[in-house]
Each structure stands twice: as structure tokens, then as C-alpha cells.
């Protein structure tokens, strides 16, 4: 697919798949690194239970649904943010200067919940609507084990829909979007093979369902990117700075140049587990 075709599909549908972007050896190394991260061998993870020497790798992995910011623990996860297959596509879709601000490692063993309909820009607000996710499958992602579902074209209006808490046991405790002019009959499952990458727009409505497989995982590494030209008002600004100047600087430059390099970088967030790994939420 040419860069022009990539961009046209992305603008039309809000997502595209980079088939076999990572080779099997690269995927195997990331899976092995995920075990080391979950065992705590690469650093502390806020909210994680300690792994004992008697715990098998499966024992340890099944304690996790999602770890935020694994790139701050692992040089391999950090390097994956800059993988050529991902960056080549993103520079065609976003522009030559790109920064990343978040990574998430999903484990999702059998029986674990999915995540309700949502838009990533609701949580990570860019100034220019450039937010994009790169969802790297570390296992074959299928309907049975909880692949992503998308609402094609739902990004085009540029509307961020309202959200609310829920008690649906199929999903984790992240809020759900509602009030959008689509229903579940419009949804498309995105089944992809291990090593393939789903790239999608920050305004695209998407969800995942529980892993209903009899055994095994649906592991994925998800990184979020945006244009380096845009400010990132993710947190409230320091006292004395108005909201229009807010700019989150806990970032990784992955392509081109950073026009705000003069601001320096700041360590803001540390690796943590996603709260309440069980289906539904009892708040």
C-alpha cells in the first residue's frame, strides 16, 4: 500500500492495519520482556503484587490486565515506540515531527474483561486532533480472545462524545462513551495476527470484549503518538500558567524535531497497573 493509499484509508475509516510489521523474533522478544516486567525485574510498578520465586510465568502474567508506561521500564519497549514500520506509517499520516506520550502493555488472559466504547482523545487531548494509537498484537487477536472492535468513520465528525461510569461486567472500569449516532450493528471486529499493528485515530470509537477463550492470552503493546507541533494539555498547568499554554512534557520524540525542545522534559508519570482489573466497577 502506498503512502497515499494509507492516508486515504486512514482519513476515510479512521484506522488501518500494518500486516506483519514485526517479525516473529521481534514478537518473541517482546513477549519475554513482558514477563520480566510483570515479575518486577525491570523496576517497580505501582499497584502490582510482588512475584515470588515459586510463581510460574503464567501465575504472574494472570495478575495483570494492563500496565501503563512499560517504556519507562524497558529499553526494548522504548525502542519499539520508534520501530521503523510504525514510524514510517505515522509520518505519512501525521507529519514528519512526532512525539509519543504513553505506552500500555495489555496481558488479558482468559476470562479477563474488555473495555467499553471510548475515544482516546477523550483521555489524551491534543490541540490539532493528531492523536494516533499503534496497537501491536503480541498474540493473534481474535473475536474469541477479545480483539478490538471499531466503528469505521466515527472519527470524521471531530466530536468527542460524553462518557459515563458503568457496571457492565464485560468491561473494565474505564468510563464508556455514549450518545453517538452509531450502534453495535455498525461495529467491525479487527482480527489481526501477532506482529501486525492496528493504527487508529484518536477520535475513532472503539472497544474490546472479554477474552472468552478457554486458555491463553490476548497480549498487545499500545503506544500513543501525536504531532510534535501540537501542545499537549494533558494535565493542569503550573500555577501562574493559563490553560491555553498547558503542555505535558513527559514525552518521547520518535521522529523529526521537537519545536518545544527549549522547554525540556519532565518526569510526570510512573509505571502502574490499571485500577480494578475485574469486570465492571464497584465505585
Task: Kindly tell me if the per-residue pLDDT of 237 is higher than 90.
Answer: no
What pLDDT sits at residue 5?
87
Residue with cell 468527542: 160
What pLDDT sits at residue 129?
97
Task: Kindly tell me if the per-residue pLDDT of 279 is higher than 50.
Answer: no
Task: Kindly tell me if the per-residue pLDDT of 248 is higher than 90.
Answer: yes
pTM of the model: 0.94
Distance of CA 232 to the CA centre of its chain: 17
Distance, in Å, from the CA atom of 97 to the CA atom of 88, rounded to the nearest integer, reads: 12
What pLDDT sits at residue 173?
84
* Alpha carbon distance, N-terminus to C-terminus of the chain: 46
Mean pLDDT of the chain: 94
CB 109 within 8 A of CB 194: no
| Region for residue 55 given its phi and psi (left: phi exceeds 0; alpha: psi -120 to 50; beta: otherwise) | beta
- 90-146 per-position pLDDT tens digit: 999 999 999 999 999 999 999 899 999 999 999 999 999 999 999 999 999 999 999
Confidence of residue 253 (pLDDT cuts 50, 70, 90): very high
What pLDDT sits at residue 28?
98
Query: Higher model confidence: residue 169 or residue 253?
Result: 253
Question: Minimal CA–CA distance to 229: which of 98, 129, 91?
Answer: 98
| Other beta carbons within 10 Å of 127 | 15
Amino acid at each position: 500500500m502506498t503512502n497515499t493509499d494509507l492516508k486515504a484509508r486512514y482519513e476515510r475509516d479512521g484506522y488501518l492495519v500494518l500486516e506483519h510489521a514485526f517479525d516473529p523474533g521481534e514478537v518473541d522478544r517482546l513477549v519475554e520482556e513482558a514477563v520480566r516486567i510483570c515479575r518486577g525485574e525491570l523496576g517497580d510498578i505501582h499497584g502490582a503484587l510482588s512475584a515470588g520465586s515459586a510463581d510460574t510465568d503464567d501465575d504472574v502474567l494472570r495478575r495483570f490486565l494492563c500496565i501503563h508506561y512499560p517504556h519507562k521500564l524497558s529499553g526494548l519497549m522504548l525502542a519499539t515506540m520508534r520501530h521503523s514500520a510504525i514510524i514510517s506509517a505515522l509520518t505519512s499520516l501525521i507529519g514528519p515531527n512526532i512525539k509519543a506520550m504513553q505506552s500500555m502493555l495489555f496481558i488479558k488472559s482468559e476470562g479477563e474483561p474488555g473495555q467499553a466504547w471510548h475515544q482516546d482523545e477523550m483521555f489524551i487531548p491534543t490541540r490539532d486532533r493528531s492523536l494516533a494509537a499503534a496497537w501491536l498484537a503480541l498474540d493473534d487477536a481474535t473475536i474469541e480472545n477479545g480483539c478490538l472492535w471499531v466503528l469505521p468513520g466515527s472519527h470524521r465528525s471531530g466530536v468527542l462524545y460524553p462518557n459515563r461510569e458503568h457496571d457492565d461486567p464485560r468491561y473494565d472500569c474505564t468510563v464508556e462513551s455514549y450518545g453517538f449516532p452509531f450502534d453495535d450493528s455498525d461495529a467491525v471486529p479487527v482480527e489481526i495476527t501477532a506482529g501486525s499493528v492496528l493504527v487508529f485515530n484518536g477520535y475513532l470509537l472503539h472497544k474490546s470484549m472479554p477474552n472468552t477463550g478457554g486458555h491463553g492470552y490476548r497480549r498487545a503493546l499500545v503506544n500513543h503518538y501525536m504531532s510534535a507541533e501540537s501542545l499537549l494539555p494533558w494535565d493542569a498547568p503550573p500555577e501562574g500558567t493559563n490553560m491555553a499554554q498547558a503542555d505535558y512534557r513527559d514525552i518521547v520524540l520518535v521522529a523529526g524535531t521537537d519545536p518545544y525542545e527549549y522547554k525540556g522534559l519532565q518526569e510526570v508519570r510512573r509505571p502502574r497497573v490499571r485500577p480494578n482489573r475485574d469486570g465492571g466497577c464497584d465505585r
